[in-house]
Amino acid sequence: MAVNLGSNGGDDLVENAEINITPFIDVILVLMIIFMVAAPLSTVGVPVELPTSSAPQQPRPDKPVYVSIKSDLSVTLGEDAVARPNLGTALDDATKGNKDERIFLRADKGVPYGELMQVMNLLRSAGYLKVGLVGLEETSGGAQP
């Protein structure tokens, strides 16, 4: 180990103007991981109050197709409002014509049963026979009355 104890009175240290970007890269990587985890959780932003269900949870597909019936009886495909007569063509565009793809039907718990059946009939007449009903999981042990 050598030490320079020069007595020349000047400052021998050279200023380093480079920025250390390693902490910046670490922060960016952490933010990227947070967004990669949070993005799939925010797939559908249509506010619908779902009823609860005690059925076991099924595996979720990569890109599910949601048809929602809101409390005002309007129908949405994903997050876009769709007129009921145009639901079949909008589904064909969303599924690229694949009639075997499962359609997830969400309905507000205030929607009358007849309205739900009308939308299911529209799905069936469009050729989509694989329909899954979406509900919230029940948190208590027993069924509610």
Residues 13, 1: Cα–Cα separation, whole Å: 18
pLDDT band for position 30 (cuts 50, 70, 90): very high
Count Cβ atoms within 10 A of the Cβ of residue 105 and give its class: 0-12 exposed, 13-18 middle, 19 or more buried.
buried
pLDDT > 90 fraction of the chain, expressed in percent and rounded: 18
Residue 136 has pLDDT above 90, yes or no: no
Mean pLDDT of 100-128: 89
Residue 72 has pLDDT above 80, yes or no: yes
H-type alpha helices, the chain: 22-38, 87-95, 113-125
Mean pLDDT of 47-70: 77
- pLDDT tens profile 52-63: 777 777 666 678
Residue 145 has pLDDT above 50, yes or no: no
Number of H helices and E strands in the chain, helices first, is: 3, 7
Q: What is the CATH number of domain 44-137?
A: 3.30.420.270
Extract the tokens encoding 29: 């990587």
pLDDT of residue 17: 75
